[in-house]
Structure 1
């Protein structure tokens, strides 16, 4: 089931050209829209900081290309990918998708990819006459422009008063001319624009002197005389001047009445205004946001979300590497999770035994069936307690995963201490190799769907075992890295919107929580920090807090997920 509406990153963008999809409306919406348009679908995970950042860019992009609605439509799904659905129809979306990593960080980059996709699609390029043409001289250019058949559904007769423009550009330059033509699609009854390749033969016939490309020629429909228009020294200014001149003469068209004349950039003021609007809190009462201490509810939520949703993540089967990581994950949880009852432990004991003869690939359906069979004792997802956010896009699963591994490193340390107390001095010299953090690293590398978070954690955990020389090193290391992450997020001035306004990032523990943990200069004393973490993440503390929690509300989570990427897919046509 798709995430509830309240977790939609695009809920507060009433003016954006973005349609929110669900599992019930997905195919019907695509089929109804994608007759002759490119559809860009941004799949996201609402809890991912990277997705939250990209949602701002995607929404600003929707404003930036509002005049493209005749050819491009934007949609979103809470479920991380972007698809570019190209006409004409394709039956197998997954097979025919072109996948692009979600490293796009500017509107210019996203626009460039969109234009390249449109131009490379045979249907769209022919339908909107976007393909660069060859011509020997001005007579051929004039003839081609007068034979315009820009609408394949309804061939329009040439109007003598229609303005004619030829964009002359070098190959393989694709963005300049195509960008102008896509922007001017709504003005096709008034102007005819085509792209021409500026080879030596054509340029020699037009000019007796060298000239820098690209250029735009205005051509008389009666005499075929021509002149260069605009600023030939700056292609960006030339584009803006030309588009604005058309809009000034013919007025705004539908879907383009509020487009800024300089579409190439968004000012800081515009970006901040969009960001503030994006995260404007609606109908949130601070008194209704309850922040519990650590709770087994959060641990169980993190377990279920990780093992049922994240590891599946739209896969049909696990390869050998993925299977080995899952097996170690179940084994490590069985050994180091601070179980509060035997029923939950029984689930992991059964699954660990089930995995014992699984060594190669494994169908996901078989894995889910086994989990379901052994699953009666792990509670369904409930509303988060300590990890509860003021909105569902905040905190939740990432917070729960931190808590889960903090609790497991503390439990592992306690087991190590007990083992050392019960052994002689000779054996005690050989410390057991830490298990929790290496498994955490493998899980994040293999399954965690927030790419930015994954890359950061893998970088800081490089040569992990060398960073864990002492029995308590895992506890201190994870606490240090978690504080470093909080510091990075809290100091990320350009992206403060990813923080829950009710629960800003801070260094943990605070002086109020643990007065002894910080000295007068604000430096942490790790001896006291270890004692505090052992108590804070102890089984007894969490059990007591879980027992005091009330008003449990069931939450719906999506059952499907994919990698954070951008896909380009062919669309549908009746």
Structure 2
């Protein structure tokens, strides 16, 4: 009888509620119960034939429906089976197909699927039309991953013809085969696992080491008395290393179980993953010429790694976003807030993180530019004893090659430290650090596939975190999931293989076994280890750059930037000789400006630069206000001469209001020159003059230029000498503006012709035009007179 998706009384009671919720959430059929990060091969109508037909590996396939309650309950165990048998992939693959979508229903009917979940086994080199082995059907109430793993081995051994070419023999070995083993094999090590006939440990370890070279694993039954007697075996299970010549030694492990055997055998000398060369420390030291190898103790955390991770995160990854807005800005605020709250760094770094936090909290708009963020990050306002070292200096996270480990290792280490610090300091929100990590990785982490995998993990179990210790354990468990997923990938450093951490050598008490001799984590011991390993007292400050040198480099960088800005202003002044360019204020002048109070932005930077900001859009940098700090904008725009890119204006109507045109033209010039003279006045005046400066920005200059009543008040409180100086400046300004007005009255057409040309160019053009006109006039008069003389000459007639 075909099996149906079983239902219980509990499920029947909540099914109407479940159905109502299902109508308001995205249908599981759209995404299924598994993703690529679960290490499960996802089948569909397009790829099912290419995967199952003539495959070199055996296939375990689950046929399920995403609406089936038992399928949903069974999915975590199937995911764990896929992670547990990841190293078996050359011989056995784990796959799944969702029969709920309409496009997959025909596929499931072709394989005679009538109930869910159904799991079938397809042997290697299956032919087209094969329905798989129904004897591999798993009961729907199986919730034991070891049982699923054992059934997989039974199905693999039950179909020996054809045998997967990548799978080693799983049957027991005899003494005769052991005696001649090294004559026919090139392996460096032969591991013999002695066990009972009903034990699966030997076969599981054999498949676990399937992807490793220079090691071979064989099982020996307790009934093989000759070998048992020769090696003196008394414990079952137990593991012995056998060498050429009949030498042997017992493999010492904390527990006689599969995981302990696997880990110990992978660490033997010369045992490497297939396709990867052995890496030794001496080769790393000799081959690394640009950056020397730094000796480190893997039982400690290094502050150099944490600061390097901060540098790369804040100066490299964030720099890829010119504008940060919306959810990304909220993610950045959460990230910086957590760093400022829990980062156990040096005072200079902590001060900078707090400065960044205060600046971000003060931003009222829904977006910021990275340029503005970078100004605060580089401490351009020069807050005392505040800096973040530039560059990376990896120690515990260094890799055997430049493309191994480093920043990903630094990010994991950073968030482990933050989660432990939150637990130690008694944070109020258990998911504060995890939520900040999730949002940062989602929006900013450069590896987008990694960000997607992490988001999938966070969606599964982050809501289950209810305490600070559980947050520490959640991050540790997910980190081990990532290690399992990328183990054996090209990104794995052969000198630092991805393992389930902490290893039995690092934390023996963290590992134990259950009644079935399956590996089991002691979570209490793991938590104790994590709280100790990532505590602030276990962070070493080796290889760090001295704080004073960091501050000196920062000051030198600011000095060079100011010098470059000054040169830029000078070059700009040379390109426009008639323009008055403001010089950057000195610290004394900045203090005087603060005493004066807020100034008009046009006065501080010039009308032209303010207009550029308005036209700059989202990418334009605008200084932001931070309590206790005064930010000054620094623009490095490179302008071309006005003739480049010159456009002709559209032809306007012939009727023009000359009065409004003249007034507006004079007004624009007066405003611009008044602003520029104000900048010059601010730069050159003494402190006494600045203290008595009037409130209004426009003075007698506007009186002269526009014929208006001035806005500048009468200086009744000044001394006679100061009043005379002020009147003299006003007279000079009035003369300057009066000259401009006279030039304007010479003709609007001259102003229109001068677009893109200097006064000298216009003068030469007029002179040449006049000279050519005179030449043409002279030629005209000459030829006209000559023609007249020819007409007046009398004709002679010969009568002969």
Q: TM-score, normalised by structure 2?
A: 0.30
What's the TM-score once normalised by structure 1's chain length?
A: 0.42
Which has the higher relative contact order, 1 or 2, with Cα contacts under 8 A spaced 6 or more apart?
1
Structure exhibiting the larger radius of gyration computed from Cα positions: 2
